[in-house]
């Protein structure tokens, strides 16, 4: 009898321990997800604010969005849009692990001539057509050899399904300097930060330069101002078969 009751006691103890372990595990997963969801929501909110700032900018410039990058390396869309936003903090996603200040900061002041590293890139997709570069996205580059203008908001035919800004967490993506803050698709500028747009028909690297730190998804700000959580390849699932579904192409 004594042995039986000992065995029962040990069994109950085991069962209790296993239950506690399971409960702790479940709780950790739930809290982890809640934190993750909170960050994803914060990120989506920041993109919405960027959308509002760009809309305010366009109101001041005859409905034109800023150019992604001016001929001087300092004239980025972020720098132009920032005065219309609440703070420079809206340009950072909570899941971005890059250092906020670029390496070339003068440490004494804690600031940098390149501004801050940002987590978002604008749609400045360009293609070589008829011997020259043509902007098919919404913000071109004014740099030498490319010289593509910005677009007017009212010229974009499918604002609800055309990408304005999405996630790009990369050390070369800076607020005040260089076209790292744009998805250009122009490989000459890849040395600063990769800029290739997604392609669902590619065998690998379907997401291109879009960062997916929210469980394989990225937050995407559309031209009409709404933010959607998407797999990057869903923004351009089949470029050759269905160019009409390429959300980077503002001319479609």
- Site residues (vs Zn ion, CB under 5 A): 43, 93
Give least dist CB 167 to Zn ion, A. 5
Write down the least CB distance from residue 52 to Zn ion, Å.
Answer: 17
Question: What six digits make up the tokens of 222?
Answer: 């559309």
Nearest to Zn ion of 75, 198 (CB atom): 198
Min CB(220)–Zn ion separation in Å: 10
| CA–CA distance, 94 with 91 (Å, rounded to integer) | 10
Residue with Cβ nearer Zn ion (114 or 230): 230
Give yes or no for a contact between 90 and 46, defined as CB atoms under 8 angstroms apart. Answer: yes
Among 83, 232, 91, which Cα is nearest to 163's?
232
Work out the end-to-end distance of the chain between its first and last CA atoms, rounded to an integer number of angstroms. Answer: 82
3-state DSSP: the chain helix, strand, coil percent, rounded to 5?
A: 35, 15, 50
| Minimum distance from residue 46 beta carbon to Zn ion (Å) | 8
In terms of CB distance, is 73 or 217 closer to Zn ion?
217
Pick the closer one to Zn ion by CB: 119 or 246.
119
* CA atoms within 13 Å, Cβ hemisphere of 107: 1
């Amino acid at each position: 009898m004594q042995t039986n009751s000992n065995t029962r006691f040990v069994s109950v103890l085991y069962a209790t321990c296993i239950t506690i372990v399971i409960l702790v595990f479940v709780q950790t997963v739930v809290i982890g997800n809640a934190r993750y969801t909170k960050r994803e929501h914060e990120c989506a909110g920041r993109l919405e604010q960027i959308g509002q700032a760009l809309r305010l900018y366009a109101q001041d410039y005859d409905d034109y969005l800023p150019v992604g990058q001016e001929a001087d390396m300092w004239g980025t869309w972020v720098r132009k849009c920032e005065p219309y936003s609440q703070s420079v903090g809206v340009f950072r996603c909570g899941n971005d692990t890059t250092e906020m200040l670029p390496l070339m900061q003068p440490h004494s002041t804690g600031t940098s001539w390149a501004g801050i590293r940002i987590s978002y890139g604008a749609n400045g997709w360009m293609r070589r057509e008829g011997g020259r570069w043509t902007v098919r996205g919404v913000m071109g580059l004014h740099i030498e050899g490319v010289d593509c203008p910005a677009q007017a908001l009212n010229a974009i035919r499918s604002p609800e399904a055309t990408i304005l800004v999405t996630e790009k967490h990369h050390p070369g993506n800076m607020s005040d300097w260089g076209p790292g803050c744009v998805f250009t698709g122009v490989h000459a500028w890849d040395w600063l930060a990769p800029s290739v747009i997604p392609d669902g028909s590619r065998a690998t690297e379907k997401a291109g330069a879009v960062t997916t730190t929210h469980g394989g998804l990225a937050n995407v700000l559309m031209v009409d101002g709404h933010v959607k959580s998407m797999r990057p390849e869903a923004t351009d699932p089949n470029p050759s078969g269905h160019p009409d579904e390429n959300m980077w192409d503002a001319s479609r």
